């Protein structure tokens, strides 16, 4: 394995992923992180086990099937397995498989838009209850200081960044909520590429970023 991941997903996010109750953008974050992190893969699967028990073991959760149900299922089976369309994935890409599906390829296929100061972003197509985007921060550059409504999770895919408290490298997830104002700075050695998801629009301080926010949807 590469860099040892130190900053993981929280239990409530992993449980929400297992339950299937998270916004699509958050599911994308979990699938991307779990692709790189066996610890969180095991944690997520243990919440699947909890779901299995909730579904199967709790008394009174069963509802009678229709009388012809088994026969109907056997004819579904006789009809054959539905085709699964899977895009080819490139194991060598810095984008884990689930992200390649949303980008439509590797990092070369990302449609970046500049948001100023060399920072670029690409919004990914997910359901509207939350948003997911890729961020490109030039080596050594700072993101504008911004506060948050709701929850924001940022995971490093390439390079690294540092905020006031900690250092985040490939696979690490920074979790920020409404209390945190922070100014992440990309590590000097390499341009930093991150996946960021949030269930609310970010707030930038100062007028200029506000205008940029209106156009760029950050």
Partner 1 sequence: MNDNDAKRMLWVSHMVRIRDTQDQAAFKELFEHFAPRVKGFLIKSGADASLAEECAQEVMATCWHKAHMFDPARASVATWIFTIARNRKIDVLRKQRRPEPEDLGWGPEEDPDQADVMALQQDCEQLGRAIEDLPPAQRELIQRAYFGDLSHSEIAEQTGLPLGTIKSRLRLALERLRHAMK
Interface ranges with partner 1 (CB under 8 A): 1, 10-12, 15-16, 18-21, 24, 27-28, 30-32, 34-35, 38-39, 41-43, 45-59, 61-66, 69-70, 72-74, 76-77, 81, 89, 96-98, 101-102, 126-127
69 CB neighbour count, 10 Å cutoff = 10
Burial call 109-131: b when 16+ CB within 10 Å, e when fewer: ebeeeebeeebbbbebebeeebb
CB of 188 to partner 1, least distance (A): 30
Decide whether 99 or 119 has the Cβ nearer to partner 1: 99
Decide whether 185 or 194 has the Cβ nearer to partner 1: 194
DSSP for 129-157? TSEEEEEEE-TT-BPPPEEESS-EEEEEE
Helix pair 24-36, 38-56: axis angle to 10 deg: 130
Closest to 40 (Cα-Cα) out of 8, 72, 87, 1: 8
CB of 82 to partner 1, least distance (A): 8
Decide whether 36 or 185 has the Cβ nearer to partner 1: 36
CB of 33 to partner 1, least distance (A): 8
CB of 169 to partner 1, least distance (A): 19
What angle is formed at CA 146 by the lines to CA 212 and CA 94, rounded to 5 degrees?
A: 85
Decide whether 93 or 162 has the Cβ nearer to partner 1: 93
DSSP strand pairing (202-204 vs 146-148): antiparallel
Decide whether 69 or 178 has the Cβ nearer to partner 1: 69
CB of 25 to partner 1, least distance (A): 9
């Amino acid at each position: 394995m590469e860099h040892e991941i130190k900053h993981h997903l929280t239990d409530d996010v992993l449980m929400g992923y297992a339950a299937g109750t998270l916004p699509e953008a958050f599911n994308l974050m979990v699938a991307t992180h779990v692709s790189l992190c066996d610890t969180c893969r095991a944690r997520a699967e243990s919440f699947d086990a909890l779901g299995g028990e909730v579904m199967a073991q709790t008394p009174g959760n069963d509802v009678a099937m229709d009388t012809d149900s088994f026969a109907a299922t056997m004819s579904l089976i006789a009809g054959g397995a539905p085709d699964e369309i899977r895009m080819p994935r490139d194991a060598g890409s810095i984008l884990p498989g689930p992200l390649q599906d949303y980008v439509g390829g590797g990092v070369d296929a990302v449609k970046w838009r500049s948001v100023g100061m060399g920072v670029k972003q690409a919004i990914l197509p997910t359901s509207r209850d939350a948003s997911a985007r890729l961020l490109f921060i030039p080596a050594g550059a700072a993101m504008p200081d911004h506060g948050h409504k709701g929850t924001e999770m940022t995971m490093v895919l390439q390079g690294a960044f540092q905020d006031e408290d900690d250092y985040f490298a490939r696979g690490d997830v920074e979790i920020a909520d409404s209390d945190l104002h922070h100014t992440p700075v990309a590590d000097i050695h390499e341009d930093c590429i991150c996946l960021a998801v949030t269930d609310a629009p970010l707030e930038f301080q100062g007028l200029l970023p506000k205008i940029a926010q209106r156009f760029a949807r950050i």
